[in-house]
Structure 1
Amino acid sequence: MGFVFDGLEAEEYDRSYGDRVLVRRIADYFRPHFGAMILIVAGVVLGAVLDAVLPILISRGIDNLTHDASNDTLIRLIVAILIAGGLSWTFNFVRQWFSARVVGDVVRKVRLDAFDAVMERDMSFYDEFPSGKVVSRVTSDSDDFSNVVTLTLNLLSQSLLVLIISGVLIHIDPVLALVTLLIAPLIVAIALTFRHLARIITQQARRSMAVVNNTVQETISGISVAKNFRQEGKIYDEFHVVNNQSYRVGLRQGFFFVGLFPVLNTIAGLGTTIVIFVGGNRVLGHNLTPGSWYLFAQAIVIFWFPLTSI
């Protein structure tokens, strides 16, 4: 399948950075927004705590209702859930509000820096590299950066939620919690293995889109010349080639991710089945309360999401 990536090699101005270097460079862009980042972190922490409180409240409510099924107990449970849910929504709103503003400002600064770098290049640079590809780097790639930052914030929130839930599960039933935690390393190992391949395929997809953007931009800017010399057919044939290449690269990327997530979800599903089976037996043996079993059932859904999103 190497022919799919023909012509999509890295440009000479491309740089390959390690994760630490990338994090350090990204942190430089976020440093001027330190105050807003503090609010975002607070929103992430408090939101994660309240998201963890919700299933715990329901779990305790189930156990309390088995001993006292009065209306007062039910009303107290409903009020507590509504308060926790409302506060969780509020903190999530604060996080989303400030993160949207900060990410927007950072993307704007990234584009300005990229545009400054473009303007500093001499004419020989544009003789060697098509302007359409450069435009794609300034626009499309910066949008992808925005999406990555947003997804990272969501992943951090979910990861913190997992840590809180894991501590609660270990406190409730160390045996069942150990069964849950033993499956995690397998999911993490598979996710990290595919992560390297996903990065390569995604880079190729961005480069193929840059080729398409370049072809369109160059065609539109020189359309009058092409029409004067009746070269519309040749232009169409050239665009047909790069468009098909972009299609094949996108299809390969789609197949990769379509194949990856079912593997992770299958392992997570097997882990869920094991936890439910072991927990059910412990409930029947009176070693675990029904409410705690419900908490484990809810917690494993929360537990798998960050692991499969690495």
Structure 2
Amino acid sequence: MSSSSGWAAMRSFSRDGSVREHRLAPGTLRRVAALARPHRRPLAVFTALVVVDGALVAVPPLLLRHLIDDGVRTGDRSVVVVLALFVAVVALAEAALSLVQRWLSARIGEGLIYDLRSAVFEHVQRQSIGFFTRSQTGALVSRLNSDVVGAQQAFTSTAAGVLSNAVTLAAVLTAMLFLSWQVTLLALVVVPAFLLPARRVGRRLAALRREAMQRNADLGERMTERFGVAGALLVKTYGDDAEESSQFRARVAAVRDVGVRTALSSRVFFAGLTALAALATAMVYGVGGWLAISGAVTTGSLVALAALLGRLYGPITGLANVQIDVMTALVSFERVFEVLDLRPAVRDPEHPVPLPEGPLDVELDDVVFTYPVTPSLVSLGAAESPKDGDDDGEQADTPDQPDRPVLRGVSLHAGAGEVVALVGRSGAGKTTLASLVARLYDVDSGAVRVGGVDVRDVTQAELRRRVGVVSQDAHLFHDTVRANLRYGSPGAGEEELWTALAAARADAVVRALPQGLDTVVGERGHRLSGGEKQRVALARLLLRAPSVVILDEATAHLDSESERAVQEALDAALVGRTSIVIAHRLSTVRSADLICVVDDGQVVERGTHAELIARAGLYADLYRTQFADGADGTDDADGRDGVVPASTPHNCSLGPGTCRLSPVVSPGRPS
């Protein structure tokens, strides 16, 4: 038994046998065939070469038989030379076929991986934000990596292996039966001695393989958490270096121990197969030699039988586990199809309507919305009772009330160029309401209109172009400042970049970086401060030049200096644009054209700051609560906002004890 055949058998038997009982989804094989259709020509050539290569396996032993019987025993040198040349030609042909097969296999396999990965990535990108809130990132990446690779092996490894083993086994058995049926039967009697121990050791190897995957996953998760910027910061501020090292060494030791046990089991398995192959060879030589002495077979036939025997057990062991091999590959296909079958919750209309040019108003008309339940896959980490909501802790629902509407009959209107503020307690539904304007979700009933057009009648690309969003935790990719700025405007030139940065009060920050625009900002932009990230994000927004701007706590958690710079940038960003501003700190929205108080999924109050204070409702209560340490929460007699005293420096954007709060300024209104 050859070394390559032994290791192939070991890999086959070490697969998880539980897939044997798995029931494939209806239509899986048909869909696999459809994926193969674009590659049918190279697949046909590849299949033909596999068949020819498998059949050639039996040729060299038969040539050796004639070389010995018709050349060596008769003393005919010309026969020896000619047959030796034929053996060399066959060997070269097998090598050439192997190279061509490998080239075709790589071409087909990599082409299939390209097709599947592209299809999965594009399909996942079309999913609504709810899909990502319920799916584990690692599980999604696994579908794009291990499952896609496992799927392509159905063509380039599993199917080819099954076909090659079947053809080889047929050719070898035919040749052996032609030479001596007695020796052939004897060789087949030994087969159970190969298969039974292999199955037992294979189950142990499969268990060890699963354990090794789990141990490596634990180790990888540990490293990912600790090597990320956020995790490293937590370790630096709270961690114990000795304890961290101890826990890591324990995980590494577990991986090491599994590796040792796997290596030992594999060696035992391979040594056992090698010993059985040697025993079978000895039996063939013994019985065949006896038959050769008696004249039942020739000496050349005996040598050929021994050579063929070495090519018999590899295909048998490979085919013994063919069901597990095929099912393992098909299950990978099925897992990829699971993702491709997910229907996006938010889809483009068949006949889209363009948004009007110029300023756009925003209208919510009797909107009712409930977060969708389990729109993702359980295998991707989907929660049975989803929770979505504001970054500040707002949740759409609870496990006890998964179907409770988050928004109930909400109606409001933001005129073109106006600033509308949404305020209220955590969990009231503010971010949810703004998310509907950006069409991150679709409403259950009612309508969200931008520029008089229902957002469901507009393509998502068009809506992204006209509606810009800045959240309290602006995300920057691990890339250069230039790439992050151009993410929303790929064609922006150098001058446009610097103009946007200047408008966002971020040009000085970028000029101070080591490579300027070409500086890599690090994972999640951690090379920049919170205020600097916000300003870069605002510059990205200004480059996009949207007609509608959504600011979700854009100045939250910033220090006074950063807040002042960001607020100045916001003042520039809002000019001439319809703005929806979500804020907890009421000081930042007192100059808004309209303030809407959201409570328990409804707009319970609306008006200007002065009107709502005079009404003495929920807004007035929230205002008094925030300024209870010294401000009375009322306006001056001339209608201007009151000055915040020194006792509330946490709400001051210009420094403690000396300033008045910097409000969001609506276009055309003095600050």
Same fold by TM (over 0.5)?
yes
1:229 to 216, 237, 248: 237
Would the aligned equivalents of 2:51 and 2:163 in 1 still touch at CA under 8 Å?
no
1:103 is aligned to 2:109: yes
Aligned residues of 2:165 and 2:315 also touching (Cα < 8 A): yes
Instruction: Give the aligned residue type for 1:101.
Output: R
Higher Rg of the two aligned structures: 2
User: Following the alignment from structure 2 to structure 1, what is the Cα–Cα distance between the partners of residues 43 and 182?
Assistant: 38
The residue correspondences of 1:12-161 to structure 2 (distance < 5 A) are 18=21, 21=24, 24=29, 29-112=35-118, 120=127, 122-125=131-134, 129=136, 131=137, 135=141, 138-139=144-145, 152=158, 153-154=160-161, 156-161=163-168
Q: How does 1:226-265 map to 2 (within 5 A)?
A: 226=234, 228-229=236-237, 231=239, 233=241, 234-265=243-274
1:164 matches 2:167: no
Q: Distance in 2 between matches of 1:252 and 1:116?
A: 41
Q: Which whole-Å CA distance do the structure 1 matches of 2:248 and 2:139 have between them?
A: 14
SS at match of 1:302: coil
- Indicate the residue corresponding to 2:302 in structure 1: 293
Q: Which of 280, 287, 290 pairs up with 1:281?
A: 290
Q: Which residue of 1 aligns with 2:312?
A: 303
SS of 1:229's partner is: helix
**Residues 132, 217 of structure 1: 8 Å contact kept:** no
| Cα distance in 2, alignment partners of residues 231 and 91 from structure 1 | 58
- Matched residue of 2:297: which SS? coil
Deviations 1:66-120 (A, max 9, x none): 4532332122212322332232223222211101111222334454566568765
Higher strand share: 2
Range moving further from structure 2, 39-48 or 131-140:
131-140
Tell me, yes or no, if the aligned pair for 1:47 and 1:91 is still in contact at 8 Å. yes
**Following the alignment from structure 1 to structure 2, what is the Cα–Cα distance between the partners of residues 142 and 57?**
43
Contact 1:132 1:210 in 2 (8 A): no
Contact 2:226 2:235 in 1 (8 A): no
How far the C-alpha of 1:245 sits from its partner, in A, is 2.4
Q: Secondary structure at the match of 1:288?
A: coil
Q: Write out per-residue CA displacement over residues 225-272 of structure 1, whole angstroms, 9 at most, x where no aligned residue.
A: 135405261433332232222223333322332222222222222222
Match of 1:268 among 268, 274, 277: 277
CA 1:193/1:227 → structure 2, altered by over 3 Å: closer, same or farther? closer
| CA–CA distance in structure 1, aligned partners of residues 142 and 254 of structure 2 | 17
Deviates more, 1:150-159 or 1:205-214: 150-159
Gaps of 5+ in 2: 1-17, 322-671
Query: Across the two proteins, how many residue pairs are aligned to each other?
Result: 293
TM-score with structure 1 length normalisation?
0.79
Correspondence 1:156-195 to 2 at 5 A: 156-195=163-202
Is the alpha carbon distance of 1:272 and 1:192 closer, same or farther for their aligned partners in structure 2, counting shifts above 3 Å? same
Q: Which amino acid in the other structure matches residue 35 of structure 1?
A: R
> C-alpha distance in 2, partners of 1:123/1:187?
49
User: Helix, strand or coil: the match of 2:310?
Assistant: helix
**1:68 aligned counterpart, secondary structure:** coil
User: Is 1:216–2:219 an aligned residue pair?
Assistant: no
Q: Distance in 2 between matches of 1:271 and 1:87?
A: 29
Match of 2:13 in 1: none
CA distance in 1 between counterparts of 2:315 and 2:190 reads: 14
Which structure carries more relative contact order (alpha carbon 8 Å, separation 6+)? 1
Deviation for aligned residue 1:194: 3.8
Amino acid in the other structure paired with 2:188? L
SS of equivalent residue, structure 1 residue 107: helix
Q: Is the contact made by 1:52 and 1:165 (CA closer than 8 Å) also made in structure 2?
A: yes
- Contact kept in structure 2, 1:173 and 1:288, CA below 8 Å: yes
Distance 1:294 1:44 in 2: 26
Take 1:232 and 1:145, find their aligned partners in 2: how far apart are those partners?
43
Q: Is the 8 A contact 1:194 1:260 kept in 2?
A: yes
- Verify the 8 A CA contact 1:136 1:210 in the aligned structure 2: no
Deviation at 1:62, TM superposition (A): 0.8
* AA at the equivalent of 1:300: L
Percent pairwise identity: 21
8 A contact 1:187–1:267 mirrored in 2 = yes
> Where does the alignment leave 5 or more consecutive residues of structure 1 unmatched?
1-14
- Structure 1 residues 17 and 31: CA distance shift in structure 2, 3 A: farther
In the alignment, the residues of structure 2 paired with residue 179 and residue 116 of structure 1 have an alpha-carbon distance, to the nearest angstrom, of 57
Q: Contact 2:169–2:316 (CA<8 Å) still a contact in 1? A: no
1:214 deviation in Å?
1.8
| Residues 16 and 60 of structure 1, relative CA distance in 2, 3 Å threshold | closer
Deviates more, 1:91-100 or 1:238-247: 238-247
RMSD, aligned α-carbons = 3.3
Deviates more, 1:85-94 or 1:25-34: 25-34
SS at match of 1:21: coil
Q: Post-superposition shift, 1:181?
A: 1.4
Q: Is the 8 A contact 1:133 1:210 kept in 2?
A: no
Instruction: Tell me the distance in 2 between the aligned counterparts of 1:296 and 1:245.
Output: 47
In 2, distance between residues paired with 1:19 and 1:160? 28
Distance 1:82 1:263 in 2: 32
1:144-175 superposed Cα distances (whole Å, 9 cap, x missing partner): 66678655334642442222011111122111
Please name the residue that 1:200 is paired with.
207
Q: Residue type of the partner of 1:259?
A: V
Show the counterpart of 1:12.
none
Per-residue Cα deviation, 1:40-81 (whole angstroms, up to 9, x for no partner) = 111111112222211211111111014532332122212322
Query: TM-score scaled to structure 2, two decimals?
Result: 0.39
Q: Is the alpha carbon distance of 1:98 and 1:273 closer, same or farther for their aligned partners in structure 2, counting shifts above 3 Å?
A: same
Deviations 1:188-247 (A, max 9, x none): 333344444433332332232222222212211135413540526143333223222222
